[in-house]
Amino acid sequence: MRILVFSDIHGDCRALERHMETEADYYFAAGDLVNWAKGFERVGPILARRAERMYVIPGNHESESDIAAFCEHFALHNFHGKTLQAGRYQVAGLGYSNITPFQTPGEYTEQEMNTRLASFSGLKPLILICHCPPKGTPLDRVREGVHFGSPAVKAFVEAEEPDWFFCGHIHEAEGARAKIGPTTAVNVGKRGFLLEAE
């Protein structure tokens, strides 16, 4: 089973085209397909090529309602706050970031993040896909000593121990990998990550 996860496309249609040329069983867009919820009409037809296998969550540049309308228009799967069975895995998705200084459309307080994540408690074996990375890890490092991730996401990963965790949001950490307990965690970024799972 091949699962392709990518994030933070920000309207880069060429990068998106490359992902759609990759053969996978499931495709997950982990937020920030566009900038400030503008440009869906350009990225939508590209994703629609894989519509039956394309799952989308909002980043901080898109609201829940933006993604719901986008997915309905292009016949994609809105995966925000949802789960699916993929092979032996439960896959769960949660969009939005924690609060930023920029007042973008898709932001949760830590309490909201904690409440939303709680609905995934007990799912095993789990692949968790969030837009926001866990606080204080290589996945949210902007520069030495500066981290902008979510404590709620980190606490959930530590408590629930998903097999895999994927995120984006912090561009400077694109491609970063870490072990959080037994969890393998990756900031997939625009380049994406292809998981070949059992």
Could you tell me the pLDDT band of residue 22, with boundaries at 50, 70 and 90?
very high
Q: How far apart are CA 146 and CA 163, in angstroms?
A: 27
Tell me the pLDDT tens digit for each residue of 25-44.
999 999 999 999 999 999 99
On the question of a cis peptide bond just before residue 125, with omega within 30 degrees of 0, the verdict is yes
Distance of CA 174 to the CA centre of its chain: 13
pLDDT, position 15: 97
Tell me the pLDDT tens digit for each residue of 88-130.
999 999 999 999 999 999 999 999 999 999 999 999 999 999 9
**To which H or E segment does residue 6 belong?**
strand 2-6
Tell me the pLDDT tens digit for each residue of 61-87.
999 999 999 999 999 999 999 999 999
pTM over the 0.75 mark: yes
Percent of the chain's residues with pLDDT above 70: 100
**Across-strand partners of 128?**
92, 165
**Domain locations along the chain:** 2-196
End-to-end CA distance of the chain: 6
What value does the mean pLDDT of the chain take? 97
Tell me the pLDDT tens digit for each residue of 10-19.
999 999 999 9
pLDDT, position 198: 76
pLDDT, position 17: 98
Burial of 196 (0-12, 13-18, 19+ CB in 10 A): exposed
Nearest to 63 by CA among 90, 25, 36, 30: 36
For 71, what's the count of Cα atoms within 13 Å in the CB-facing half-sphere? 22
Tell me the pLDDT tens digit for each residue of 121-167.
999 999 999 999 999 999 999 888 889 999 999 999 999 999 999 99
Domain at 2-196, CATH from 3.60.21.10, 3.30.2130.30, 3.40.1380.10, 3.30.930.10: 3.60.21.10
Q: How far apart are CA 161 and CA 184, in angstroms?
A: 9
